[in-house]
Structure 1
């Protein structure tokens, strides 16, 4: 890939027209280096704060779906290291809401990392969405960040069905919007924060596995809508 001055960016020329479903992320390997994984969970908290766009989604999509009493329950599905769950309870407090946030993830390594930093109002559980449905749990809003691109077709169908069953108000699932611009920006910026982690490799693989807006719209079941968000984001939204 060349620059206008004739130099090279050092980035490979990739075909981003279709999802790279053959790629797997290093942190999904159960035998990956646990120290690098722990650092990755911590570092992704910084990366997500910078690029996920969730502060805006909180205001535009989550707040309007909370009860008028100001009290509510929010579920973070596939919470990973817990950075979104922690951010939601912090934003809720600053905006005058009394919100209980529950973060769940079937990966015990993620829950261990998340539980090390669980502020008041946030709890983390090693559970799946199906476990919560079976237990009869209900939440005002169900959210997730960077989960959809990890899932195969059948897994995604089940995940969205569980989300719909768990949300009494709204489901909002945010993911990366695949594009050359997103790949290039992340490839150039991620080395600044990726030393000793899987942040760069996994972030680039995530972009290649992610959806365009049209692809997400085509794959969502009835009752869901796909929305474009900034920066380089897509949202899958369903109102109960």
Structure 2
């Protein structure tokens, strides 16, 4: 399959603009829950990667760039259904995302705060697992390297950064599937995200020793760091 030759790093997502439409931004955060449940592959990652770690309770997860908080809530509910004790902390430096997450109905075992991963490193924090969802393609080179460095410090057992994999087919399918979604940035920003995302070869070329690029759900890939024998 033909792949676009270069990442569209010059394209910006509308929701990242400080003066974007506030109503559409709130709808975007609200719709993320449906999108992530369907396309991001976290159920498989939960079963294969997170649940074995959570069985050694109490366990902790850090969700970096947690946005509106839907992933943290979804993981907490799956863990509760499985009878597992987990504390999930979602952090996002964007005050708008943090505010939306903090205003969600409380979910047992989930906390949100407006913060950058560097702040948690400075605090000496540590978590069993560090995760992110659809964050990598947003980052410049320095931010990318900092995220991996911070994840290495903050994660006791493993870090999993789940992101899109650039593909014209993904672009076409997402464009059609999201046509019904109105009054949000889901469709236009999602298409931009696909154009900005990495191929597996591109991501591997940026990956420092110890990290691996692994297949994820359809049109997704996971940048993983595993410690102390915590394999797949």
CA deviations over 1:23-64 (Å, ceiling 9, x no partner): 110000011111111011001111111101001011112223
> Does the CA contact (< 8 Å) of 2:28 and 2:184 recur in 1?
yes
2:27 equivalent to 1:39? yes
Distance 1:15 1:65 in 2: 36
- Greater Cα radius of gyration, structure 1 or 2: 1
Deviation, structure 1 residue 17: 2.4
SS in 1 for 2:178: helix
Of 123, 127, 130 in structure 2, the residue corresponding to residue 142 of structure 1 is 130
Question: When the two structures are superposed, what TM-score results if normalisation uses the length of structure 1?
Answer: 0.91
Partner of residue 26, structure 1: 14
Partner of residue 108, structure 2: 120
Distance 1:80 1:42 in 2: 10
Matches within 5 A, 1:195-210: 195-210=182-197
C-alpha RMSD of the superposition: 1.3
Partner of residue 217, structure 2: 230
> Does the CA contact (< 8 Å) of 1:70 and 1:96 recur in 2?
no
Of 194, 203, 212 in structure 2, the residue corresponding to residue 216 of structure 1 is 203
Distance 2:58 2:170 in 1: 36
Deviation, structure 1 residue 15: 6.9
The alignment covers a number of residue pairs equal to 225
Distance 1:128 1:179 in 2: 30
Distance 1:94 1:221 in 2: 36
Distance 1:121 1:156 in 2: 28
Q: Structure 2 unaligned segments of length 5 or more: list them.
A: 228-232
Distance 1:79 1:69 in 2: 24
Partner of residue 170, structure 1: 158
> Does the CA contact (< 8 Å) of 1:76 and 1:101 recur in 2?
yes
Q: Structure 1 unaligned segments of length 5 or more: list them.
A: 1-13
Distance 2:52 2:225 in 1: 13
Distance 1:169 1:237 in 2: 11
Partner of residue 120, structure 2: 132
Partner of residue 42, structure 2: 54
SS in 1 for 2:158: strand
Partner of residue 82, structure 2: 95
